[in-house]
Amino acid sequence: MYIQQLEATAEEKTKKAQSCISEISRLKKDLASMKGGKESIQTSHRSLQSEHISLKKQHNELKKDFEAWKMKYDIDDKPTSSSSDTTLQKENDALKEQCEALEKERDEWENKYDAMEDDKMELNINYEMLQDSLKEAKQELATFRAQKNELDTLRTKMAELSKMQSQKQELASLRSKVLDLQQQLDEERQHRSMVVSQQQQQQPPQSPVERTSAVTPTRHYDHLIGELRKRVVEKKKLLEEKRVLQDRYTELLVINSRLTEQQQNSNLAPYIPEFENGSSSSTQLTQQSNDWDGFLDIDSFSPEIPSLQPQPRSTRGAASSDLVPTSIAQRSRVPSYPSPPPLSSSTAANNVTRTSLLLNASAAAATSSSVPSASSSQRVLPEPQEIRQSNAKKTRGPKTKLEKLAGMRLPGISRKRKIDETTTSTTTSTTTTPAANATVSYTPFTNTTPERPYKKPSITSLTSMKVLEGYVQKFTKTPPNDSIHELSAMAEYITKLKMDLPKKEGNHPLFECISTFFRESRSHANPFLKSDPNAETQKHGLSENVYLICPTCVDFRERNMAWMLFAYCSLYEKTLYPLLIEWATSQVREHIKNSKISFACRYVRLLSMMYRRNNDKKRINVLCYDIVRLAVLKDNFLLPLVNVGLIWRDVLALSNGVLPDGMEMIMKVIQSACVDFCVKNPKTVQYYKPFMDICDWPSIEDSTSLSNRLVEFSRVLVSEEYKQLESLHPVAFGDLRFNLVKAFELAYYRINDWETTYNEFIVKELWPLMSNSHIADTCLELMALLARTGTQPSPLDPSARRSRLTPKEAEHPGVAVIRNKLIEALHITEGYSDDDFMLQITTAKGLLLLSSQQLSYAIPVVIWYQKMEDRFRQLLPVELDSNINMLSACLKDVVSA
């Protein structure tokens, strides 16, 4: 009945609205006709005025003529005849009649003019009355529309109530079914217990084993499930151990293959001949030897391929002095083809014996007369070549990777070998394999060990972080030019250390050393006190490529630490850079939340130097935003920003653009937040002056406050350009929308006035804009983000901010209203389009933000996800989908518990 009454009142109101609309249209028509009559009357009035003026002019002229004539008649004293008097009298009468007629006509026109004036006044009065009635009709129409909207909302609520009632009925039916099933289950259990008791009475007593086996099926199944879970966990652990062992096994295989290759190359090096004749075979062999020459000594400084020295060999007493090996043949080589499998001891010995016999035969042939040279296919062993010895210095090998990036030759790294001119027999014992011992007794060559000026530091087998801390301390105390040689040794040590450390996510051996260094450091939080604002930043490091850009006022040890990390990331482990950035950023956030600003400044300087060298503007912009957003309101957040501006001043510089776009909006909010903080805390004005010098910020008196910034951003939100940008440039619109929302959130967080935020902005500005389809998505996200500030305790007290309060204790009034509004928008599931679904995605994200780690607030999102169609579920963002699945799993665990 209540719904019928509402529908009847709605129909009556719609009829009244239609009658009002028809009356308004009739009044508009009358007004238009009266406007036309008014215009015609005005034109006639103007014509009458012009005629009246012309008649006045004629009347004045006649008056002048009459007065002139009268004066002339009075002055003339001469006697006239009676005939002339009569004519003059007649003319005078005629003139008088004309004057009277003109006066009558003038009076008539004046009367008409007065009547027209009266009509004009009446028309003006009628026009004003019509305007008033039109305004009243518009007001009534607005009230009717508001009532209609209320009726629509009531209808939707009634529809929801009807759905709820139907769902309640379904739940009641399901409950009744569940009760019936429970009764049946209880009956079956009772029957089963009776049967089991009867069987136990009939059967003989059971043994203890049978008693333990006679367990209820449910307990047995629970036990099996628990065992299965344990086996799954053990299987995962075994798989992880298997992967680790496989990695170690592959590494050992690679090392073994390299050792076998280098051992074979060192064994075969003395037997590669060289020729000077011009035959085809000699050219082929010389080309082959040149190919081998291309594989020069790999620098021992490189951690990728270690170099092995060739084993010295003994010579026989009858060996010829002409058979002196070249330095090229003595060098260790790395072939371009894959290495063969290692030989057994017997096969290696046989091969070496066969080779030595062939060499003895060739030595005997060399003492005889000249023998014609055969082709390469017919020759068993080529003729020995007489090698000229020269004392000229040999050229250095190609530059290593480190030398190329550094742009310079590092001293003490090139390895030069000197040939021993004396062919004395030397015997050295080797402890590698039996094949190596065989080569010692039959080799007719002499080989000397190379002299190496630079000796790479050995790495101890005991993996300890103290050794790595020693490396780090050494790097921080010495300049880059002196510590560049230790970089490869540290890289090799870290690779061995990471293999022995326990596997943890994001765990790198360097991170702990960096944190201890920053804890023990005594650097000042504001290095600007030692710096000249007009001084330019300088390069720190090597002259080319491997350097950082930073001012000299930064602590020398911190600069060396940053350079060491940059060089290590650039030369050896490029995957370390994102891990380092993520870890250092988390340290900055943690220290800022805990009001440890001086510690945060050290990590901020490190990140700023790394970001500037890699030209990573996006990450440094996010860092500046996090500094202002996460800082407690009473803490001096200007100090970390001073460090950012000192190292990279272009990041915080403000442009002179009229319309804010992109990151410029957030930078303006940061500048206004700094000004408001200095106004509230006058002692911190000294920290604002560096921004005026290095970033060209305006003075505090000439700056814009946060409230005025919000007015500017509100104009951007409701502007037509913002609405049209989505269809014209979607990428630019997404960037502007993201930065606009973040600027609003940051500004209202620094203002810290929930009543103003809710009453003045959310209710008065955002809520009416929800009807606009172009900006409804932005308004929903803004409401959720601003309401999140209402669910948190006041950030003035860091202890209260870190404490875990329940939502009822921490929420401000108005948050529940916004949450209910979001839930209503989320459960509109009938006939919604793709645009409505995008709005629901934003609503779901907002509800998850407002859940405050309470599952009861996140249940509507899970219900919405379960009722969603498959075609819409594919459009969900990956992060939102994973969060909802995690919530549903948590709910299942809670229900099962």
Alpha-helix residue ranges (DSSP H) falling in 572-705: 576-593, 597-614, 617-630, 638-647, 663-680, 685-694
Structural domain includes residue 33: yes
Percent of the chain with pLDDT over 90: 14
208 class by beta-carbon count within 10 Å (0-12 exposed, 13-18 middle, 19+ buried): exposed
**Among the ranges 171-180, 352-361, 501-510, which has the highest mean pLDDT value?**
171-180
**CA 291 vs CA 268, 274, 334, 645, 841: distances in Å:** 15, 13, 11, 55, 64
Residue 830, amino acid? E
Residue 23's CATH number: 1.10.287.1700
The DSSP code for 540 is E
Q: What local confidence, expressed as pLDDT, does residue 536 receive?
A: 65
Same domain, 478 and 611: yes
Q: Are residues 480 and 503 in the same domain?
A: yes
Q: Is residue 745 part of a domain?
A: no
Reported as a single tens digit per residue, the pLDDT across 86-143 is: 887 888 888 888 888 888 888 888 888 888 888 888 888 888 888 888 888 888 888 8
One domain for residues 493 and 428 = no
DSSP-H helix ranges across 369-508: 401-406, 434-442, 465-477, 480-483, 486-500
Contact criterion met (CB below 8 Å) for 396 and 414: yes
Collapsing DSSP to helix, strand or coil, 546 comes out as coil
Domain boundary, last residue among 401, 426, 449: 449
Q: Under a CB-based contact definition with an 8 Å cutoff, are residues 410 and 299 in contact?
A: no
- Same domain as 467, residue 583: yes
The region of weakest confidence among 340-349, 671-680, 710-719 is 340-349
Looking at the structure, do residues 429 and 477 belong to the same domain, yes or no? no
* Whole-number pLDDT of residue 811: 67
Domain C-terminal end among 409, 427, 449 = 449
- What does the DSSP 8-state code read for residue 388? P
Report if residue 251 sits inside a domain: no
3-class SS at 539?
A: strand
Q: For the segment 151-162, what is each residue's pLDDT rounded down to a tens digit?
A: 888 888 888 888
Residue predicted with more confidence, 253 or 286:
253
Q: What is the domain count for the chain? A: 4
Q: Is 222 inside a domain boundary?
A: no
Residues 175 and 278 in one domain: no
Residues forming a β-bridge with 541: 547
Residue 147 lies in a domain: yes
What is the average pLDDT value for the chain, to the nearest integer? 72
CA-CA distance, 645 to 688, in Å (whole number)? Answer: 11
Q: For 835-848, how does the pLDDT look when each residue is reduced to its tens digit (9 = 90+)?
A: 677 888 888 888 88
CB neighbour list of residue 605: distance below 8 Å, 6 or more residues apart: 527, 554, 558, 562, 643, 647
**DSSP string of 110-145?**
HHHHHHHHHHHHHHHHHHHHHHHHHHHHHHHHHHHH
pLDDT of 320 above 80 = no
Residues 427, 475 within the same domain: no
* Contact between residue 648 and residue 551 where contact means Cβ atoms under 8 Å apart: no
Instruction: Give φ, ψ of 499 to 5 degrees.
Output: -70, -30
Q: What is the pLDDT of residues 875-896, one digit of tens each?
A: 788 888 888 888 888 877 777 7
Quick: pLDDT tens for 712-768. 999 988 888 888 888 888 888 888 989 999 999 999 999 988 888 888 888 888 888
Averaging pLDDT over each range in 226-235, 594-603, 844-853, which range is the top one? 594-603
Average confidence (pLDDT) over 667-684: 93
| 3-state class (DSSP) for residue 548 | strand
- Pair 480, 428 in one domain: no
- The last residue of one of the domains, among 169, 188, 207, is 188
What does the pLDDT read at residue 204? 57
Q: Which domain holds residue 168?
A: 2-72+92-188
pLDDT attached to residue 537? 75
**How far is the C-alpha of 570 from the C-alpha of 462, rounded, in Å?**
28
User: pLDDT-based confidence at 621, cuts 50/70/90?
Assistant: very high
Helices (H), 203-279: 208-213, 217-268
Using an 8 Å Cβ cutoff, are 719 and 673 in contact? no
Within 10 A of 854 (CB to CB), how many other CB atoms are there? 13
Q: How many residues does this entry show for the chain?
A: 897
pLDDT value of position 812: 74
Q: Is the pLDDT of residue 699 over 60?
A: yes
Query: Would the pLDDT of 263 be above 90?
Result: no
Asked whether the whole model's pTM tops 0.75, one would answer no
Q: Looking at residue 304, what DSSP letter applies? A: S
Conformational region of residue 541, where left means phi above 0, alpha means psi within -120 to 50, and beta covers everything else: left
In a domain, 376, yes or no: no
Q: Which residues contact 846 (CB under 8 A, 6 or more apart)?
A: 780, 781, 783, 784, 785, 787, 822
pLDDT at 500: 64
Q: What share of the chain is helix, strand, coil (3-state, %, to 5)?
A: 70, 0, 30
State how far the Cα of 102 lies from the Cα of 109, in Å rounded to an integer. Answer: 11
Alpha helices in 269-344 (DSSP H): 280-294, 327-330
Looking at the structure, tell me whether residues 779 and 802 fall in a common domain: yes
* Dihedral sign of CA atoms 345, 347, 348, 349 in order: positive
Identify whether residues 427 and 518 lie together within a single domain: no
Per-residue pLDDT tens digits for 765-801: 888 888 887 888 888 888 888 888 766 554 444 444 4
702 within some domain? no
Residue 696 region by backbone torsions, left for phi larger than 0, else alpha for psi between -120 and 50, else beta? left
Q: Is residue 352 one of the residues assigned to a domain?
A: no
Answer yes or no: do 43 and 144 share one domain. yes
CA atoms of 665 and 715, how far apart (whole Å): 13
* 825-841 burial code (b ≥16 CB/10 A, e <16): bbbeeeeeeeeeeebbb
Statement to judge: residues 163 and 308 lie in one domain: no
When mean pLDDT is compared over 307-321, 348-362, 456-470, 609-623, the highest value belongs to: 609-623
